[in-house]
Chain A
Amino acid sequence: MVVSYNNYQQAKFLSSSNGISGYFFENFAGIFQVFDLKKANTELAEENAQLRTALQHYQLRSTNNSRQSYLSERNPLITMTRDSLNKIVYFFTTARVINNSVNQRHNFLTLNKGRIQGLKTNMGVVSAGRVVGLVTDVGDNYCTVISILNERWKLSAKIKRNDFFGSLSWNGKDYRKVQLNEIPYHVPVQNGDTIVTTGFSSSFPEGLEIGIVTEYTIGSGSNFYKIDVNLAVDFRSIVQVALVENRQLKEINNLESLNNNVK
């Protein structure tokens, strides 16, 4: 228990990113993923189409000599990647899922890329532009990803419509639903509201889709809503994922640690 609560110890101990289990998973993953290929193809095609649309807007904009990056509502993947100096902040790379579980309280994924391919811990993992998890442990050729379906991981998320943010976590019950907490009563919430990432975690660009509100109740004796969010990603059929690297993560962390010293 200690080991999986603690990143450092987990990295030092056995995990599914080690060579042996990675080998088995990689060679075996193909058999089951054949069934999901059709769906994966459709998703990739849809994402491609979206990206093309966004790219067109973007090219149009840059030919108009505008230095301001175009903030499209439709695709945060492209638009949120530039800072005010017009420097690219978020870099994307892809990987294949070779192991994944939804049947535990603490689920992880294993991907077929590792340190040699340039992965680092704290990179965000997305599938078709939707949040999947965070890289926690990197081996030579494989890496372990903590899934959103893991009780120990909390993610900051907001309601897209009005930007109120809370913390997103999983209660370990239904693999299709996660819970959004810490949204106070006065905030208008509706079924069907889209929940997206905030930029706070610095592992994900702002505005990546997480899911859609399906149910919200007012907990007795509490000041916050209990919101059920239907995940946009079907965790039982993830084949291909993209990894997000924030090139400014180090700078952000350095700045934030300065703050801690003041306290």
Chain B
Amino acid sequence: MLNNLLKYSLIFIVAVLLQVLVLNRILIFRMISPYFYLIFLLLLPYDTPKALLILLGFILGLSIDAFTNTLGVHTAVCVLIGFVRPMILNEISTRETRESVSAPRISTMSLNWFISYTATFVAIHHLLLFMLEAFTFQGFFFTLARAILSGVLSIALIVISQFLFFRR
């Protein structure tokens, strides 16, 4: 329990600092910028209580917002991710895996499963985030393109980080 607390606190801090200090400076083709910090919510154990997920989503979003001066945008999206995570996990994984394995990882699930799992959440997160950030339907397709292309990069980063840091 304490071990888990330490581990996930570390993931939280690393994800937030990596996002605000390094990844926020990335802008490819003047439109693609990855949002990698979402990985924290993706890696939490299966048995995390629903209320805690939402609370952690709130804290995560608020930390990012405090650094990027976008107070509210990331918070709103992360709270939503925390809210829908149990429902989506119910849809895409079986009861047996959820009981035998503690948390979603590449090492315990298949690569395909992990990619589609990541893609689902990144899609929700990015579409909503970029729409909220723009807060207008003017230039809708530009915003959509930004969300999709950034999403592809975020998914790649999250999956690669799995191979680098969470290999057993």
A interface, CB within 8 angstroms of B:
1-4, 10, 13-16, 18, 20-21, 24-25, 28, 32, 99, 101-106, 108, 144, 171-176, 236
Contact = CB atoms under 8 A, between A and B. Distances in A.
SS class, residues of chain B in contact with chain A: helix
A204 to B, nearest CB: 22
B7 interface: no
Interface stretch (B20-28, B38-46, B89-97, B120-128): B20-28
B69 interface: yes
A20 B21 CA distance: 13
A105 B129 CA distance: 11
Nearest to B25: A32
18 contacts: A1-B132, A1-B135, A3-B72, A10-B69, A14-B65, A14-B66, A14-B71, A15-B71, A16-B68, A24-B17, A24-B20, A103-B27, A144-B69, A171-B139, A172-B139, A173-B139, A173-B142, A176-B30
A15 B69 contact: yes
B134 interface: yes
B37 to A, nearest CB: 14
A21 B27 contact: no
Contacts of B26: 103
Contacts of B132: 1
A175 B70 CA distance: 18
Contacts of B30: 173-176
Given A24-B20, A24-B21, A3 B71 contact: yes
Contacts, number: 72
Contacts of A32: 25
A108 B69 contact: yes
A170 to B, nearest CB: 12
B133 A106 contact: yes
Contacts of A25: 21, 67
A32 B71 CA distance: 25
B24 A103 contact: yes
Given A105-B133, A144-B69, 7 more contacts: A1-B135, A2-B72, A3-B71, A21-B66, A25-B21, A172-B139, A173-B30
B118 interface: no
A3 B68 CA distance: 13
Contact of A16 (B31, B62, B66): B66
A175 B67 CA distance: 20
Contacts of A28: 21
Interface in B53-74: 62, 65-73
A28 B31 CA distance: 24
Interface in B124-157: 132-135, 139, 142
B69 A106 contact: yes
A250 B25 CA distance: 37
B76 to A, nearest CB: 9
Given A105-B133, A173-B139, A173-B142, A21 B67 contact: yes
